[in-house]
Amino acid sequence: MRSRRHTASSPTSIIRTFQGSRGEEKFKEIADAYQTLKDPEKRAAYDQLGRHQPGQDFRPPPDWGRQFGDAQSSFDDVDLADLFAGLARGARHAGRQGGAFQMPGQDYEVTAHISLDEAARGTTVDLDLAVPGVRPARRPHRVQRSFKARIPKGATDGQRLRLRGKGGKGLGGAPDGDLYLNIALHPHALYRVSGHDLYLDLPLTPWEAALGAVVEVPTLGGSVRLKVPPGTHAGQKLRLARRGLPKPSAGEGDLFAIVQIVVPTVLSERERVLFKELSTARPSIRAVISNRR
């Protein structure tokens, strides 16, 4: 399973998830305090100078540059799992205080492998997902989540289904994330799938193709009789309407039988005589092509 992750490469990109100016100010305060307490030099500077309010004139002591340099705030060394754990606690506190801190839940994505028969009638799949979480020690890890998902009939290979609210939990009353299912059909022994249409190879003998015949064709709903017209050639598509996969709204796709001419490998004496008579009665294909040049 792979999840959609909201990237956070800078404070500005994360601040956008807060609502209102109070949320931005709160986030900046948390990030500033986190950086200060994590860095021993910045902690020492804080103990020496105290907190600097925006808009105030800041006059560092003469030896400030030698002790602490000209460092700038950065998110390169921030433990985001630790930081967001603190933000989550702040969100719960803000909720009790009537604040507006909100963060939508994370979206997840997983591939569901089903058979063609399951796609035709619909099915329920059991999903075991390993999703990101935070331990009490505020270290990121994977949390196992298990639930069932209903796949409606007519699902096609490559289709993407959305399960609302089955993703990560939202914070501060924000909506939960969604789970996206990517449908993948197992290969079938007879059928090839294209959207809601099905294709299969239909073997015919030379005399069935030449003279016409009525043959049985397997479908998802059982065998049906198909009339093969005289003069059918190899590769020809014979259509069986509404014998494909059901469509979500209404109707079904079609089933196409692709003609394959099968020549017998073992001939009886009578068959050998008949094929020789046929060869003398009609010119060969090569002769026909040669005469057209």
Q: pTM for the complete prediction?
A: 0.62
Mean pLDDT of 100-113: 88
Q: Is the pLDDT of residue 289 over 80?
A: no
Q: What is the mean pLDDT of residues 271-293?
A: 76
Handedness of CA 190, 194, 196, 199 (dihedral sign): negative
Mean pLDDT estimate for the chain = 77
Distance from C-alpha of 289 to C-alpha of 33, rounded to nearest angstrom: 87
pLDDT value, residue 52:
52
Q: d(Cα 243, Cα 101) in Å, to the nearest integer?
A: 54
Instruction: Tell me whether strands 255-261 and 197-204 are parallel, antiparallel or unpaired.
Output: parallel
CA 141/CA 138 separation, integer angstroms: 9
Sequence-ordered list of residues with C-beta below 8 angstroms from that of 188, at least 6 positions apart, any chain: 115, 116
pLDDT of residue 259 exceeding 60: yes
Give 229 or 92, the one with higher predicted confidence: 229
Q: Which of 188, 113, 101, 190 lies closest to 155, judged by CA?
A: 113
The pLDDT value recorded for residue 244 is 96
